[in-house]
Chains A and B, each alone.
Chain A
Amino acid sequence: MDFSFTRAQVLARDMARSFARTELAPFAQERDEQARFPAEVIAKMGSLGFMGMCIPREYGGSALDGVSYVLVIEELASACASTAIIVSVHNSVGVYPIYLMGSEEQKKKYVPDLAAGRKLGAFALTEPNVGSDPASIETSARSDGDFFIINGTKTFITSAGTSDTVIVMASTDRARRGRGISAFIVEKSFPGITVGTHENKLGIRASDTCELIFENCRVPRANLLGPEGAGLRAALNALGFGRVGVAAQAIGVARCAMEKAVHYSRERNQFGKPIGSFQAIQWMIADMATEIEAARLLTLRAAKLKDDGRPFATEGSMAKLFASETAMRTATKAVQIHGGYGCMKDYVVERCFRDAKVIEIYEGTSEIQRLIISGSVIKK
């Protein structure tokens, strides 16, 4: 069993680290406060190949493997979790499903612009009444000649306001529930789409999260992604890969919180010595480091399974569950180590704490991950 990275994987990680330290970290706090979408940074990342990481070169992507992808996302998230999720959502559920499920025509039309970051992708599954149970989607798509007419409301959609294309899940046959859900590539310029409320969130604040309202939105039949009724399967596949990226994002946030806590525990003196010399603090840091390493190994394992063409849904869920809860525990301890300062907006750990909570919820809550994992274990 080989735990070492290839030179290409190390190089991908180092390039992301260098970019994240210089371009993301210095402005992350300000973007969080102002809930400002990092458009200029995303444009730069597009030109550097961050927006089509796992897309083959022939479609304008960087052709990275899954392991490199998670290493890159961890680096980005360690500097700015919001930017990391914009990049992760775009890569995993904004572009990748089109590459995976799309016809040659769809791939040629949409993937190169998305992979180069000239356009931004989003993914719309969640609805006001539908979160963890996607089979009960209420948004409908009615066939009308060469078009489908979409009606309904999607909520909490990452990059909904800033994206150019959205992969929309809608029911084409309500009676068939999950098997009646289809996926559509919807251009935001299509008539009948309104961007609704921009959510004012607890964490991940620089990523724009909005409602999308479809009122008789006419989508060409040519934009049906995959066969009719195969949308939910496509969604779950895409989310499976997305979860591994979100796990990496959680590790980045946890690492950031730990690094800040370690730094603070060296500098803060109480009772005449650095607080890091007290066992109470040392034990917290030991737990942080151990859990982060365990989360990273789970995540890399899921990515490696994907690279090897093997099933990784359960391992991806385990990685997402453990990494996001690790991020929450680590950020909580990091705030605790900072004491009163940890509750102040001037300290990065305060942001990590808010970001970590969001990560435990999106792309499948901890409870849904446990459902997937237990389902797989009990079935065995």
Chain B
Amino acid sequence: MAPLSIIVTVKQVPDTNEVRIDPKTNSLMREGIPSILNPEDANAVEAALRLRDEHGGTVTAITMGPPQAEAVLEEVMCLGVDRAVLLSDRAFAGSDTLLTAFTLSRAVLKLKTFDLILCGRQAIDGDTAQVGPQLAGFLDIPQVTYAEEIVFVEGVFRIQRGLEHTRELVAARPPVLVTVNASGPVPRYGSLYALAGACSGEHIKLWSAKDLNLPASMLGLGASPTAVKKIFEPDRSVKGEVFEGSEKEMAAQLVARLRETGCL
């Protein structure tokens, strides 16, 4: 069996455990908030590394973001990723999920061959879960979402999907795109051995819009069909209701209220 060529997409996100929303402007208060590797992307990276460790081959990480996003590529290289590409250009700023997926698809095509693309299910900043499926769409390859476990047997990926109440086993021939859940393989620890190599910049390429031959009509905020209008904290307050009367009366009121709200 030939070694596997695996691409994994990763994103640098603000640590949302620390993010607060400015109630006046409804924007994320990112000042001083540490940036981290998106948690489900770490599961995707681990899935990629396990497949490579077992079958041989290479794992290439791609991220799109500002120059400082190179930090997540260095981080995944400390986990064992072989090489990485940073897609960074001022023209990419404001890309929505569709344009992000399009840009990523151009980078994947530039890398030429691949057997498997792994993505985290969704990023903790936007929570859209759209980029993986859209990327598969642009590349016109099959996709399997919500993966928990991926094995490669006799030229076929066997993917266990973790759905709400069930597990589903899907077989897919390469090339295929798979998005990985947080319940996927647990990320390994980074190695200090790999640090010097990871931070040398030797294995990280920087590609701009020009390198990807992207037309202006497919770049950034202006070309994005969607835009975030408002970010707000949902009102999670729950009001209790008190019924009064005899036990029988209260029970009747309760049943009526439950019917009214569609609970019964």
* A258-278 to B contact mask, C-beta < 8 Å, 1/0: 000000000000000000000
Of the 9-residue stretches B131-139, B158-166, B193-201, B207-215, which lies at the interface with chain A?
Answer: B193-201
Any chain A CB within 8 A of the CB of B56? Answer: no
Any chain B CB within 8 A of the CB of A72? Answer: yes
* Count class of interface residues, chain B: 10 to 19
- Determine whether the beta carbon of B199 is less than 8 Å from that of A15: no
* A positions within 8 Å CB-CB of B: 6-8, 10-12, 14-16, 18-19, 23, 44, 47-50, 53, 57, 62-64, 68, 72
- Determine whether the beta carbon of A64 is less than 8 Å from that of B192: yes
- Determine whether the beta carbon of A72 is less than 8 Å from that of B199: no
Chain B residues whose CB sits within 8 angstroms of the CB of A7 once the complex forms: 70-71, 74, 199
- Determine whether the beta carbon of A18 is less than 8 Å from that of B196: no
- Determine whether the beta carbon of B196 is less than 8 Å from that of A11: no
Any chain A CB within 8 A of the CB of B75? Answer: yes
| Inter-chain pairs besides A10-B71, A14-B75, 13 sampled, C-beta below 8 Å | A11-B190, A11-B195, A12-B192, A15-B191, A15-B192, A15-B195, A16-B192, A18-B189, A48-B189, A48-B192, A49-B192, A62-B193, A68-B195
The residue on B at minimum CB distance from A50 is B192
Q: 6 A–B contact pairs at CB < 8 A?
A: A18-B190, A49-B192, A49-B194, A53-B192, A57-B196, A63-B195
Chain A residues whose CB sits within 8 angstroms of the CB of B189 once the complex forms: 15, 18-19, 23, 44, 48
- Determine whether the beta carbon of A11 is less than 8 Å from that of B74: yes
Whole-angstrom distance between the Cβ of B12 and the nearest chain A Cβ: 12
Bound-state Cα–Cα, A8 to B190, Å: 12
Chain B residues whose CB sits within 8 angstroms of the CB of A68 once the complex forms: 195
Task: Indicate the member of A11, A16, A49, A72 with the most B CB atoms within 10 Å.
Answer: A11
Any chain A CB within 8 A of the CB of B78? Answer: yes
- Determine whether the beta carbon of B71 is less than 8 Å from that of A11: yes
Bound-state Cα–Cα, A262 to B75, Å: 31
| Interface SS majority for chain A | helix
Bound-state Cα–Cα, A11 to B197, Å: 13
Chain B residues whose CB sits within 8 angstroms of the CB of A72 once the complex forms: 192
Chain A residues whose CB sits within 8 angstroms of the CB of B78 once the complex forms: 11, 15
Whole-angstrom distance between the Cβ of A71 and the nearest chain B Cβ: 11
| Known contacts A7-B71, A7-B74, A11-B75; is-contact A64 B195 (Cβ 8 Å) | yes
- Determine whether the beta carbon of A63 is less than 8 Å from that of B196: yes
- Determine whether the beta carbon of B196 is less than 8 Å from that of A15: no
Whole-angstrom distance between the Cβ of A248 and the nearest chain B Cβ: 15
A49 interface neighbour in B70, B74, B193, Cβ under 8 Å: B193
Bound-state Cα–Cα, A11 to B189, Å: 12
Closest 6 CB pairs of A and B: A49-B192, A49-B193, A15-B190, A8-B199, A62-B192, A63-B196
- Determine whether the beta carbon of A48 is less than 8 Å from that of B191: yes
Bound-state Cα–Cα, A120 to B196, Å: 23
Bound-state Cα–Cα, A338 to B55, Å: 54
Whole-angstrom distance between the Cβ of B35 and the nearest chain A Cβ: 10
- Determine whether the beta carbon of B191 is less than 8 Å from that of A49: yes
Chain A residues whose CB sits within 8 angstroms of the CB of B195 once the complex forms: 8, 11-12, 15, 49, 62-64, 68
Bound-state Cα–Cα, A57 to B194, Å: 10
Bound-state Cα–Cα, A57 to B70, Å: 23
* B220-254 to A contact mask, C-beta < 8 Å, 1/0: 00000000000000000000000000000000000
Chain A residues whose CB sits within 8 angstroms of the CB of B196 once the complex forms: 8, 57, 62-64
The residue on A at minimum CB distance from B197 is A57
Whole-angstrom distance between the Cβ of A111 and the nearest chain B Cβ: 14
Task: Indicate the member of A15, A16, A18, A57 with the most B CB atoms within 10 Å.
Answer: A15
Chain B residues whose CB sits within 8 angstroms of the CB of A48 once the complex forms: 189-193
Bound-state Cα–Cα, A15 to B190, Å: 6
Task: Indicate the member of B74, B191, B196, B199 with the most A CB atoms within 10 Å.
Answer: B196
* B164-208 to A contact mask, C-beta < 8 Å, 1/0: 000000000000000000000000011111111011000000000
Whole-angstrom distance between the Cβ of B67 and the nearest chain A Cβ: 11
The residue on A at minimum CB distance from B71 is A7
Bound-state Cα–Cα, A44 to B192, Å: 12
Bound-state Cα–Cα, A15 to B191, Å: 8
Bound-state Cα–Cα, A15 to B188, Å: 10
Bound-state Cα–Cα, A18 to B36, Å: 12
Chain A residues whose CB sits within 8 angstroms of the CB of B190 once the complex forms: 11, 14-15, 18, 48
Chain B residues whose CB sits within 8 angstroms of the CB of A53 once the complex forms: 192
Bound-state Cα–Cα, A197 to B71, Å: 48
The residue on B at minimum CB distance from A23 is B189
Whole-angstrom distance between the Cβ of B13 and the nearest chain A Cβ: 15
Whole-angstrom distance between the Cβ of A74 and the nearest chain B Cβ: 15
The residue on A at minimum CB distance from B79 is A15
The residue on A at minimum CB distance from B199 is A8
Chain B residues whose CB sits within 8 angstroms of the CB of A8 once the complex forms: 74, 195-196, 198-199
Bound-state Cα–Cα, A57 to B195, Å: 11
Whole-angstrom distance between the Cβ of A297 and the nearest chain B Cβ: 20
Bound-state Cα–Cα, A221 to B264, Å: 89
Whole-angstrom distance between the Cβ of B202 and the nearest chain A Cβ: 13
Bound-state Cα–Cα, A16 to B189, Å: 9
Bound-state Cα–Cα, A23 to B186, Å: 14
The residue on B at minimum CB distance from A56 is B196
Task: Indicate the member of B75, B192, B194 with the most A CB atoms within 10 Å.
Answer: B192
Bound-state Cα–Cα, A370 to B195, Å: 37
Bound-state Cα–Cα, A62 to B193, Å: 4
Bound-state Cα–Cα, A218 to B21, Å: 70
